[in-house]
Structure 1
Amino acid sequence: MTQALSLDPRKTALVMIDLQHGIVGRSLAPHSGADVVARAKQLADTMRAKGAAIVWVRVLLNELRRAPADISTHAPDAPPAPAEASELVPGTGAQADDVIVSKRQWGAFYGTDLEQQLRRRGIETIVLGGIATNFGVESTARAAFDQGFNLVFVEDATSGLNGEMHSFNFEKLFPYMGHVRSTQQVIDALA
């Protein structure tokens, strides 16, 4: 049974991961990049109007750590990504007062000022979504959890490289770390 959820916008931040040109156009599941962006904009517009902090995280694709691994996330002979690939898509509706965090790895906390930005604003709860579920979103969630932030995961404003990986996190991991809700349920929970 789902617990009732109430969010104080003054102590809540929306943190959306990697809604940028080089990522949202990829083949994703269960939600398309366009659908995730549209829901992120709906959340951001509503939460901003109620006084919540809005944070957009982007990965600098040409500076992303590429570790030796059994499965590579990047072809070794691929040319550098165009600069636009690391820029947020206009559909997010990002505003001048929103926080933009640039990262060089999967998670949004390590090597960035994200924690400082949140703590200075008195943020206790992070509403989290973006792309991809098992990479940037999960990595950010684990760090946020370890640092004592409350978490709300927005299932329909998050998508993965495949539906099975996405579903695993939303069914088997995220419910242990916080609350799993839909975009509308998050909007309804704003006090």
Structure 2
Amino acid sequence: MPFLLRGARVLESLSSRTGHLLAWFTWAMVLLQSCVVVLRHLFDSGSIALQESVIYLHGAAFMLGLAYALQTDAHVRVDVFYRRMQPLGRAWVNALGTLMFLLPVCAFILAGSWQFAMNSWSVYEGSANAGGLPGVFFLKSLIPLAAVTLALAGVAQFIRALLELMEIPAPATRASAKPQLLKQAEEVEA
């Protein structure tokens, strides 16, 4: 089981690092949008490339932030019953939800967007606007990349849920804060 825990940690580390990088994209978006506003209102000028760069950064932050939102449990969840469940029930919901819903949706998005992105790459699609950014194919590549990163975060969530479901029942007391199997796997790794 230590290899499962190690695998989950690697996938979660990838999502976490991506999320922290995307936080800087948000700051860059704010600064660029401020420049667009200042150019427009103070200097009666504008830049389509600056406006499109804000759109590109927003797309990257949104699409690549999906995995980070799943990992940190910041996604929208209709949890009428989930919040009242015990940890074992939550683990079942997370495991089954990942297998039955999340991973198939990621596969559908990947399959549906792959040719869309490849067509854009085949012609090195650029902006339709004069003075716009030339790399629209990079922006379109974010769709299948988002499906892959979200699926990897889902696999990490599934591994965590699986480890919790495989927990060896503790003695009559519930004093232990960590599930026994997770504790054993972390001790083996340390």
**Higher strand proportion, which one?**
1
Q: TM-score higher than 0.5 here?
A: no
Identify the TM-score tier after normalising by the shorter chain.
under 0.3
TM-score (norm 2): 0.23
